[in-house]
């Protein structure tokens, strides 16, 4: 397998076409296994690792960053990894421990740096929109962290198209760098970002990083009896039942292509204009190996057309998707 690297948005930073998601580390995946997965990812050429300050909250907030930080402190791991984490979600019940206020951003960044055992974060991402904090305050705090060398690039997650445009225009007016990436829910079953988010990303040079590329696992094929994880949660089972006809047609197509459903779902995302790197979240080394096979798969026009027929998107970009 040969890993390809692309620029993250309009930046000069090069990242692998797959991003290693770490949300399972410390909870569903024990630290020794998580360390082996990160070793394996690096050996495969995956240099883009994503986490968040609240991952691991089922045990304690910050646990996942601690697991990643322990691994980063070994050898030359930190130098080889493009490290991304996030800020927004509440870290306690205390009034200022959440959102995108200047105070919370700066204190949360310091806490993430300690847990990750590093002096800088390559990509610091706003995990969600904060409608209660002025954009000028949020942008100012993020720029301060950049000036201090604690953050190199800024990204967003779960922003609407107009949020992206507003942030970029504010950054431009201040002579600031602005966003280089956006993390959005994007997969064959969830294509709403094609209306306005993806067009905004392409216009402003923002790299798209899809999360949940397998739709909580239901695009990864029929699970075996020993399968555990989010795919067996009630919500995922209910959604799978709702889309059973589509999923059956999808799995037939995957059989014809001769590839595992998870590989096809990831290869489809990699074929979409503007997509930088889908986030894969393996719990095991075997799952990482399986996911990486998508890099060897190129879907032809016929397969892409059939996938559009099975999983119709919103019809393209707005306004043409719903108007003339």
Q: What is the mean pLDDT of residues 31-51?
A: 98
For 234, the 3-state DSSP assignment is helix
| pLDDT single digits (tens) 3-21 | 999 999 999 999 999 999 9
Assess if residue 318 is contained within a domain.
Answer: no
Nearest Cα to 29, choosing from 83, 68, 69, 75? 68
pLDDT tens-digit readout, 169-203: 999 999 999 999 999 999 999 999 999 999 999 99
Tens digits of residue pLDDT in 78-95: 999 999 999 999 999 999
* Number of domains comprising the chain: 1
Rounded distance between C-alpha atoms, residue 144 and residue 150, angstroms: 9
**Secondary structure class of 12 (helix, strand, coil):** coil
In a domain, 316, yes or no: no
Asked if residue 188 belongs to a domain, the reply is yes
Give me the pLDDT at residue 2, please.
85
323 part of a folded domain: no
> 232 falls in which pLDDT band (50, 70, 90)?
low
Looking up tokens 């198209």 gives 161
Q: How confident is the model at residue 240 (pLDDT cuts 50, 70, 90)?
A: confident
203 in a domain, yes or no?
Answer: yes
pLDDT for 208-226, tens place per residue? 999 999 999 999 985 533 3
From the list 55, 124, 204, 250, the catalytic residue is: 55
- From residue 287, alpha-carbon distances to 167, 217, 225, 284 in Å are 36, 11, 16, 5
CATH of the domain at 275: 3.20.20.100
CB 184 within 8 A of CB 211: yes
pLDDT band at residue 238 under the 50/70/90 scheme: confident
Token couple for 267: 């290869």
Q: What are phi and psi of 290, to 5 degrees?
A: -60, -50
315 domain-assigned: no
Q: Which two tokens stand for residue 32?
A: 């020794």
Domain residues for the domain of 296 are 5-310
How confident is the model over 286-317, as pLDDT tens digits? 999 999 999 999 999 999 999 999 999 999 99
Q: What is the pLDDT of residues 44-55, one digit of tens each?
A: 999 999 999 999
In a domain, 284, yes or no: yes
What pTM does this model have?
0.95
DSSP for 170-202 reads HHHHHT---EEEEEEE-BTTB-GGGTTHHHHHH
The question of whether 55 is a catalytic residue gets the answer: yes
Whether 109 is in a domain gets the answer yes
């Amino acid at each position: 397998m040969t890993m390809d690297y692309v620029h993250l948005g309009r930046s000069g930073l090069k990242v692998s076409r797959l991003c290693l998601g770490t949300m399972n580390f410390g909870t569903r995946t024990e630290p020794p296994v998580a360390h082996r997965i990160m070793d394996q990812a690096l050996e495969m050429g995956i240099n883009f690792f994503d986490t968040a300050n609240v991952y691991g909250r089922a045990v304690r907030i910050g646990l996942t960053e601690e697991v990643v930080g322990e691994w980063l402190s070994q050898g030359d791991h930190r130098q080889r990894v493009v490290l991304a984490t996030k800020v927004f979600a509440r870290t306690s019940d205390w009034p200022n421990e959440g959102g995108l206020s200047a105070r919370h951003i700066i204190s949360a960044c310091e806490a993430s740096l300690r847990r990750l055992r590093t002096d800088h974060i390559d990509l610091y991402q706003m995990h969600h929109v904060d409608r209660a904090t002025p954009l000028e305050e949020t942008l100012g705090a993020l720029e301060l962290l950049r000036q201090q060398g604690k953050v190199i690039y800024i990204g967003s997650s779960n922003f609407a198209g107009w949020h992206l445009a507003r942030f970029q225009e504010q950054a431009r007016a201040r002579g600031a760098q602005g966003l280089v990436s956006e993390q959005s829910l994007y997969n064959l079953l969830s294509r709403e970002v094609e209306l306005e988010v993806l067009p905004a990303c392409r216009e402003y040079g923002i790299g798209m990083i899809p999360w949940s590329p397998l739709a909580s696992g239901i695009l990864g094929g029929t699970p075996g009896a020993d399968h555990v994880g989010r795919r067996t949660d009630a919500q995922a089972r209910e959604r799978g039942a709702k889309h059973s006809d589509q999923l059956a047609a999808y799995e037939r197509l995957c059989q014809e292509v001769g590839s595992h459903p998870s590989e096809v779902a990831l290869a489809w995302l990699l074929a979409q204009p503007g997509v930088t790197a889908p986030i894969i979240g393996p719990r095991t080394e075997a799952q990482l190996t399986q996911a990486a096979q998508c890099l060897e798969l190129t879907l032809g026009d016929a397969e892409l057309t059939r996938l559009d027929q099975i999983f119709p998107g919103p019809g393209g970009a707005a306004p043409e998707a719903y108007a003339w």
